[in-house]
Amino acid sequence: MALLADPDAPTEIARRMTQMLPGRLADRSGQGRRFDVEVVSEPFTAEVEDPPTLMRRIMDRGSSERWDIVVALTDLPLHSHGRKLAVDLSHEHGLALLSLPSLGGFRLQTRARQAVEEAVLSLTGPQATGPEGPPGSQPLRGPFVSRLAPIHPGQVGEEEIADLRYVVTGPRGYLRVLLGMVRANRPWRLVPGLSKALAAALATGAVATVNSTIWSLATSLSTPRLVIATVGSVALMIGWLIVDANLWHRTDEVSPEARKRAALYNASTVVTLGIGVLVCYAGLVAINLVWALFILNDRLFASTTRTPLHGAEYWTLSWFVASVATVGGALGSGLESDEAIRAAAYSKREQERRSLLQDDRGD
Protein backbone atom coordinates (compact mmCIF):
# COMPACT_ATOMS: atom_id res chain seq x y z
CA MET A 1 0.00 0.00 0.00
CA ALA A 2 1.04 3.63 -0.49
CA LEU A 3 0.64 6.78 1.56
CA LEU A 4 0.37 9.53 -1.05
CA ALA A 5 1.11 12.75 0.83
CA ASP A 6 1.24 16.42 -0.05
CA PRO A 7 4.62 18.05 0.74
CA ASP A 8 5.37 19.64 4.13
CA ALA A 9 3.26 18.54 7.12
CA PRO A 10 1.36 15.64 5.42
CA THR A 11 4.63 14.06 4.30
CA GLU A 12 6.17 14.39 7.76
CA ILE A 13 3.09 12.82 9.36
CA ALA A 14 3.07 9.97 6.82
CA ARG A 15 6.75 9.18 7.34
CA ARG A 16 6.46 9.14 11.12
CA MET A 17 3.54 6.70 11.11
CA THR A 18 5.25 4.17 8.85
CA GLN A 19 7.33 2.85 11.76
CA MET A 20 4.39 1.27 13.54
CA LEU A 21 1.65 1.28 10.88
CA PRO A 22 2.52 -2.06 9.17
CA GLY A 23 2.61 -3.96 12.46
CA ARG A 24 -0.60 -2.41 13.77
CA LEU A 25 -2.45 -3.12 10.53
CA ALA A 26 -1.25 -6.74 10.55
CA ASP A 27 -2.33 -7.21 14.17
CA ARG A 28 -5.73 -5.57 13.73
CA SER A 29 -6.61 -7.27 10.45
CA GLY A 30 -6.30 -10.69 12.15
CA GLN A 31 -6.07 -12.52 8.83
CA GLY A 32 -2.35 -13.18 8.62
CA ARG A 33 -1.89 -10.30 6.21
CA ARG A 34 1.35 -8.40 5.74
CA PHE A 35 1.32 -4.71 4.91
CA ASP A 36 4.19 -3.01 3.11
CA VAL A 37 3.82 0.77 3.43
CA GLU A 38 5.45 3.15 0.97
CA VAL A 39 5.40 6.93 1.40
CA VAL A 40 5.21 9.01 -1.78
CA SER A 41 5.52 12.77 -1.36
CA GLU A 42 4.12 14.79 -4.23
CA PRO A 43 1.72 17.74 -4.66
CA PHE A 44 -1.22 15.65 -5.83
CA THR A 45 -3.70 18.39 -4.83
CA ALA A 46 -1.99 21.13 -6.87
CA GLU A 47 -4.51 23.05 -8.98
CA VAL A 48 -7.34 20.78 -7.75
CA GLU A 49 -9.46 21.00 -4.59
CA ASP A 50 -12.53 19.11 -5.82
CA PRO A 51 -12.82 15.72 -4.02
CA PRO A 52 -14.22 13.75 -7.01
CA THR A 53 -11.45 15.06 -9.24
CA LEU A 54 -8.86 14.29 -6.59
CA MET A 55 -10.18 10.74 -6.23
CA ARG A 56 -9.85 10.21 -9.98
CA ARG A 57 -6.30 11.60 -9.86
CA ILE A 58 -5.45 9.25 -6.96
CA MET A 59 -6.99 6.30 -8.83
CA ASP A 60 -4.88 7.03 -11.92
CA ARG A 61 -1.76 7.37 -9.78
CA GLY A 62 -2.45 4.09 -8.01
CA SER A 63 -3.12 2.26 -11.27
CA SER A 64 0.14 3.46 -12.80
CA GLU A 65 2.13 2.13 -9.83
CA ARG A 66 -0.04 -1.00 -9.28
CA TRP A 67 -0.63 -0.18 -5.62
CA ASP A 68 -3.25 -2.34 -3.90
CA ILE A 69 -4.28 0.39 -1.45
CA VAL A 70 -3.71 4.14 -1.71
CA VAL A 71 -4.36 6.50 1.20
CA ALA A 72 -3.87 10.15 0.21
CA LEU A 73 -3.13 12.75 2.89
CA THR A 74 -3.56 16.48 2.36
CA ASP A 75 -3.53 19.53 4.61
CA LEU A 76 -6.09 21.30 2.42
CA PRO A 77 -9.59 21.92 3.84
CA LEU A 78 -11.65 20.13 1.19
CA HIS A 79 -15.37 20.79 0.63
CA SER A 80 -18.14 18.57 -0.67
CA HIS A 81 -21.76 19.65 -1.18
CA GLY A 82 -21.22 22.63 1.10
CA ARG A 83 -19.66 20.52 3.88
CA LYS A 84 -16.03 20.19 4.93
CA LEU A 85 -14.68 16.79 3.90
CA ALA A 86 -13.06 14.51 6.45
CA VAL A 87 -12.49 11.35 4.39
CA ASP A 88 -13.55 9.77 1.09
CA LEU A 89 -13.28 6.03 0.50
CA SER A 90 -13.64 3.91 -2.61
CA HIS A 91 -13.74 0.23 -1.69
CA GLU A 92 -13.94 -0.84 -5.32
CA HIS A 93 -10.63 0.80 -6.18
CA GLY A 94 -8.93 0.65 -2.76
CA LEU A 95 -8.65 4.42 -2.36
CA ALA A 96 -8.95 6.81 0.56
CA LEU A 97 -8.60 10.60 0.66
CA LEU A 98 -8.04 12.11 4.11
CA SER A 99 -8.16 15.85 4.85
CA LEU A 100 -5.90 16.29 7.90
CA PRO A 101 -7.45 19.59 9.14
CA SER A 102 -10.69 17.72 9.85
CA LEU A 103 -8.84 15.88 12.64
CA GLY A 104 -8.30 19.09 14.62
CA GLY A 105 -5.20 20.73 16.01
CA PHE A 106 -4.37 18.43 18.93
CA ARG A 107 -2.78 14.97 18.92
CA LEU A 108 -2.68 15.21 15.13
CA GLN A 109 -0.07 12.50 14.64
CA THR A 110 -2.04 9.98 16.72
CA ARG A 111 -5.37 10.90 15.15
CA ALA A 112 -3.91 10.73 11.65
CA ARG A 113 -2.49 7.27 12.31
CA GLN A 114 -5.81 6.07 13.71
CA ALA A 115 -7.66 7.52 10.73
CA VAL A 116 -5.33 5.81 8.27
CA GLU A 117 -5.68 2.52 10.12
CA GLU A 118 -9.49 2.70 10.05
CA ALA A 119 -9.49 3.62 6.36
CA VAL A 120 -7.17 0.74 5.41
CA LEU A 121 -9.05 -1.79 7.53
CA SER A 122 -12.32 -0.66 5.96
CA LEU A 123 -10.86 -0.96 2.46
CA THR A 124 -9.44 -4.44 3.11
CA GLY A 125 -12.18 -5.78 5.39
CA PRO A 126 -15.44 -7.61 4.65
CA GLN A 127 -17.69 -5.63 2.34
CA ALA A 128 -21.40 -5.17 2.74
CA THR A 129 -23.61 -5.59 -0.33
CA GLY A 130 -27.24 -5.64 -1.32
CA PRO A 131 -29.78 -4.10 1.06
CA GLU A 132 -27.04 -3.13 3.54
CA GLY A 133 -25.75 -0.54 1.12
CA PRO A 134 -22.75 -0.06 -1.14
CA PRO A 135 -19.61 -2.11 -0.62
CA GLY A 136 -17.76 -1.20 2.52
CA SER A 137 -20.48 1.13 3.80
CA GLN A 138 -20.01 -0.09 7.38
CA PRO A 139 -19.26 2.88 9.68
CA LEU A 140 -15.68 3.77 10.42
CA ARG A 141 -14.43 3.87 13.99
CA GLY A 142 -11.61 5.66 15.75
CA PRO A 143 -11.46 9.45 15.30
CA PHE A 144 -14.49 9.42 13.00
CA VAL A 145 -17.12 8.39 15.54
CA SER A 146 -15.90 10.00 18.76
CA ARG A 147 -18.74 11.65 20.67
CA LEU A 148 -16.74 14.86 20.72
CA ALA A 149 -15.95 14.75 17.01
CA PRO A 150 -18.49 16.63 14.83
CA ILE A 151 -18.00 14.17 11.95
CA HIS A 152 -20.93 12.45 10.25
CA PRO A 153 -21.62 10.44 7.07
CA GLY A 154 -21.95 12.67 4.02
CA GLN A 155 -23.67 12.62 0.67
CA VAL A 156 -21.95 10.85 -2.23
CA GLY A 157 -22.94 11.51 -5.83
CA GLU A 158 -23.95 8.62 -8.07
CA GLU A 159 -21.16 9.26 -10.58
CA GLU A 160 -18.42 9.65 -7.99
CA ILE A 161 -15.69 7.11 -7.39
CA ALA A 162 -16.13 7.29 -3.62
CA ASP A 163 -18.76 5.08 -1.98
CA LEU A 164 -18.33 6.24 1.62
CA ARG A 165 -17.80 9.80 2.86
CA TYR A 166 -17.52 11.53 6.20
CA VAL A 167 -17.90 15.29 6.57
CA VAL A 168 -17.40 17.86 9.33
CA THR A 169 -20.48 19.83 10.32
CA GLY A 170 -21.58 22.67 12.58
CA PRO A 171 -19.72 25.49 14.36
CA ARG A 172 -17.60 23.00 16.32
CA GLY A 173 -16.65 21.42 13.03
CA TYR A 174 -15.56 24.79 11.63
CA LEU A 175 -13.44 25.43 14.72
CA ARG A 176 -11.97 21.93 14.50
CA VAL A 177 -10.95 22.43 10.86
CA LEU A 178 -9.55 25.90 11.61
CA LEU A 179 -7.40 24.53 14.45
CA GLY A 180 -6.26 21.72 12.17
CA MET A 181 -5.20 24.24 9.54
CA VAL A 182 -3.30 26.30 12.11
CA ARG A 183 -1.57 23.13 13.29
CA ALA A 184 -0.61 22.33 9.70
CA ASN A 185 0.83 25.85 9.36
CA ARG A 186 3.22 25.04 12.25
CA PRO A 187 3.19 28.53 13.82
CA TRP A 188 6.28 27.77 15.93
CA ARG A 189 8.35 28.04 12.74
CA LEU A 190 7.32 31.67 12.39
CA VAL A 191 9.34 32.92 15.38
CA PRO A 192 12.86 32.16 14.05
CA GLY A 193 11.69 33.34 10.64
CA LEU A 194 11.16 36.82 12.06
CA SER A 195 14.72 37.27 13.29
CA LYS A 196 15.15 40.70 11.73
CA ALA A 197 11.83 41.91 13.07
CA LEU A 198 12.79 40.64 16.53
CA ALA A 199 16.14 42.41 16.29
CA ALA A 200 14.38 45.66 15.45
CA ALA A 201 11.94 45.14 18.32
CA LEU A 202 14.74 44.42 20.81
CA ALA A 203 16.63 47.53 19.73
CA THR A 204 13.48 49.62 20.08
CA GLY A 205 12.79 48.14 23.51
CA ALA A 206 16.33 48.75 24.74
CA VAL A 207 16.14 52.43 23.80
CA ALA A 208 12.60 52.89 25.11
CA THR A 209 13.45 51.38 28.50
CA VAL A 210 15.90 54.20 29.27
CA ASN A 211 13.63 56.96 27.93
CA SER A 212 12.17 59.12 30.70
CA THR A 213 9.12 59.99 28.59
CA ILE A 214 8.30 56.29 28.32
CA TRP A 215 8.67 56.03 32.10
CA SER A 216 6.08 58.76 32.63
CA LEU A 217 3.70 57.26 30.09
CA ALA A 218 3.98 53.77 31.55
CA THR A 219 3.27 54.88 35.12
CA SER A 220 0.25 56.92 34.00
CA LEU A 221 -1.41 54.15 31.98
CA SER A 222 -4.16 52.03 33.51
CA THR A 223 -4.42 48.30 32.92
CA PRO A 224 -7.21 48.63 30.30
CA ARG A 225 -5.05 51.04 28.31
CA LEU A 226 -2.08 48.71 28.52
CA VAL A 227 -4.29 45.91 27.19
CA ILE A 228 -5.45 48.16 24.34
CA ALA A 229 -1.82 48.99 23.56
CA THR A 230 -1.01 45.28 23.47
CA VAL A 231 -3.91 44.42 21.18
CA GLY A 232 -3.15 47.36 18.90
CA SER A 233 0.56 46.60 18.55
CA VAL A 234 -0.03 42.88 17.93
CA ALA A 235 -2.75 43.66 15.37
CA LEU A 236 -0.44 46.15 13.65
CA MET A 237 2.31 43.54 13.42
CA ILE A 238 -0.08 40.91 12.03
CA GLY A 239 -1.52 43.34 9.50
CA TRP A 240 1.91 44.48 8.39
CA LEU A 241 3.09 40.91 7.88
CA ILE A 242 0.01 40.06 5.81
CA VAL A 243 0.33 43.15 3.62
CA ASP A 244 4.11 43.03 3.28
CA ALA A 245 4.22 39.34 2.30
CA ASN A 246 0.92 39.43 0.38
CA LEU A 247 -0.54 36.63 2.49
CA TRP A 248 -4.21 37.55 2.09
CA HIS A 249 -5.95 34.98 -0.07
CA ARG A 250 -8.32 36.28 -2.75
CA THR A 251 -10.40 34.21 -5.09
CA ASP A 252 -11.93 35.10 -8.44
CA GLU A 253 -14.49 32.31 -8.11
CA VAL A 254 -18.03 33.19 -7.08
CA SER A 255 -19.11 29.80 -5.76
CA PRO A 256 -20.00 29.51 -2.06
CA GLU A 257 -17.37 26.80 -1.58
CA ALA A 258 -14.66 29.06 -3.01
CA ARG A 259 -15.67 31.87 -0.65
CA LYS A 260 -15.72 29.49 2.34
CA ARG A 261 -12.32 28.17 1.36
CA ALA A 262 -10.88 31.68 1.08
CA ALA A 263 -12.36 32.60 4.47
CA LEU A 264 -10.78 29.52 6.06
CA TYR A 265 -7.42 30.26 4.44
CA ASN A 266 -7.40 33.83 5.73
CA ALA A 267 -8.66 32.91 9.20
CA SER A 268 -5.93 30.27 9.57
CA THR A 269 -3.30 32.77 8.41
CA VAL A 270 -4.42 35.39 10.94
CA VAL A 271 -4.52 32.87 13.80
CA THR A 272 -1.12 31.42 12.85
CA LEU A 273 0.49 34.85 12.67
CA GLY A 274 -1.26 35.82 15.90
CA ILE A 275 0.26 32.88 17.75
CA GLY A 276 3.72 33.65 16.42
CA VAL A 277 3.51 37.35 17.22
CA LEU A 278 2.15 36.69 20.73
CA VAL A 279 5.07 34.36 21.43
CA CYS A 280 7.44 37.10 20.29
CA TYR A 281 5.55 39.64 22.42
CA ALA A 282 5.86 37.47 25.53
CA GLY A 283 9.58 37.11 24.85
CA LEU A 284 9.92 40.88 24.54
CA VAL A 285 8.19 41.41 27.90
CA ALA A 286 10.58 39.00 29.59
CA ILE A 287 13.69 40.48 27.97
CA ASN A 288 12.58 44.05 28.69
CA LEU A 289 11.95 43.13 32.32
CA VAL A 290 15.47 41.72 32.71
CA TRP A 291 16.94 44.78 30.99
CA ALA A 292 14.95 47.15 33.20
CA LEU A 293 16.05 45.33 36.37
CA PHE A 294 19.66 45.70 35.27
CA ILE A 295 19.71 49.27 33.95
CA LEU A 296 17.17 51.39 35.85
CA ASN A 297 18.11 53.61 38.77
CA ASP A 298 15.37 53.85 41.38
CA ARG A 299 16.27 57.40 42.49
CA LEU A 300 16.35 58.76 38.94
CA PHE A 301 13.10 57.00 38.10
CA ALA A 302 11.37 58.34 41.21
CA SER A 303 12.57 61.89 40.63
CA THR A 304 11.32 61.82 37.04
CA THR A 305 7.96 60.11 37.52
CA ARG A 306 7.30 60.94 41.20
CA THR A 307 6.59 57.22 41.62
CA PRO A 308 8.79 54.80 43.59
CA LEU A 309 10.36 52.06 41.48
CA HIS A 310 8.85 48.86 42.82
CA GLY A 311 7.94 45.52 41.26
CA ALA A 312 4.68 46.83 39.80
CA GLU A 313 6.50 49.66 38.04
CA TYR A 314 9.06 47.27 36.55
CA TRP A 315 6.24 45.08 35.22
CA THR A 316 4.18 47.99 33.85
CA LEU A 317 7.18 49.53 32.12
CA SER A 318 8.24 46.22 30.57
CA TRP A 319 4.69 45.59 29.39
CA PHE A 320 4.33 49.01 27.78
CA VAL A 321 7.81 48.90 26.23
CA ALA A 322 6.94 45.51 24.66
CA SER A 323 4.02 47.19 22.86
CA VAL A 324 6.25 50.02 21.68
CA ALA A 325 8.91 47.53 20.57
CA THR A 326 6.37 45.43 18.69
CA VAL A 327 5.45 48.47 16.60
CA GLY A 328 9.16 48.95 15.88
CA GLY A 329 9.42 45.27 15.02
CA ALA A 330 6.61 45.64 12.49
CA LEU A 331 8.80 48.06 10.57
CA GLY A 332 11.69 45.64 10.84
CA SER A 333 9.57 42.80 9.47
CA GLY A 334 9.60 44.57 6.12
CA LEU A 335 13.18 43.38 5.79
CA GLU A 336 12.13 39.72 5.95
CA SER A 337 11.95 37.62 2.81
CA ASP A 338 8.60 36.15 1.82
CA GLU A 339 10.03 32.67 2.43
CA ALA A 340 10.39 33.39 6.14
CA ILE A 341 6.64 33.66 6.71
CA ARG A 342 5.02 32.02 3.67
CA ALA A 343 4.39 28.87 5.75
CA ALA A 344 1.70 30.82 7.59
CA ALA A 345 -0.46 31.00 4.47
CA TYR A 346 -2.09 28.11 2.62
CA SER A 347 -2.21 30.09 -0.61
CA LYS A 348 1.58 30.52 -0.59
CA ARG A 349 2.17 26.82 -0.03
CA GLU A 350 -0.27 26.03 -2.81
CA GLN A 351 1.69 28.28 -5.17
CA GLU A 352 4.87 26.41 -4.25
CA ARG A 353 3.20 23.06 -4.93
CA ARG A 354 1.95 24.23 -8.31
CA SER A 355 5.48 25.35 -9.20
CA LEU A 356 6.85 21.99 -8.05
CA LEU A 357 4.26 20.14 -10.14
CA GLN A 358 5.09 22.22 -13.20
CA ASP A 359 8.80 21.54 -12.71
CA ASP A 360 8.11 17.80 -12.50
CA ARG A 361 6.04 17.94 -15.68
CA GLY A 362 8.82 19.88 -17.40
CA ASP A 363 11.36 17.26 -16.46
100 residue type, one letter: L
**Tens-place pLDDT, residues 186-240:** 777 777 777 777 888 888 889 999 888 999 999 898 999 999 999 999 999 888 8
Contact (CB, 8 A) for 46 and 347? no
Neighbour tally for 60: CB within 10 Å: 10
Neighbour tally for 24: CB within 10 Å: 17
Distance in angstroms (rounded) separating the CA atoms of residues 4 and 93: 15
**Tens-place pLDDT, residues 9-68:** 899 999 999 888 888 888 888 777 788 889 999 888 877 778 888 999 999 998 888 888
pLDDT tier, 133 (very low <50, low <70, confident <90, very high otherwise): very low
Distance in angstroms (rounded) separating the CA atoms of residues 39 and 18: 8
Average pLDDT over residues 70-91: 88
CA angle 223, 227, 232 (to 5 degrees): 145
**Tens-place pLDDT, residues 253-307:** 777 777 777 888 889 889 988 998 898 899 999 999 999 999 888 888 888 888 8
- If 0-12 CB within 10 Å is exposed, 13-18 middle and 19+ buried, where does residue 32 land? exposed
Structure confidence at residue 132 (pLDDT): 43
Residue 82's SS3 state is coil
Structure confidence at residue 338 (pLDDT): 54
Element at 80 (helix H, strand E): strand 79-80
- Of 328, 257, 315, residue with least CA distance to 286: 315
Distance in angstroms (rounded) separating the CA atoms of residues 186 and 204: 28
Structure confidence at residue 286 (pLDDT): 94
Contacts of 175 (CB under 8 A, 6+ apart): none
Which domains does the chain show, CATH number per domain?
2-124+140-180 (3.40.390), 187-346 (no CATH)
Contact (CB, 8 A) for 142 and 112? no
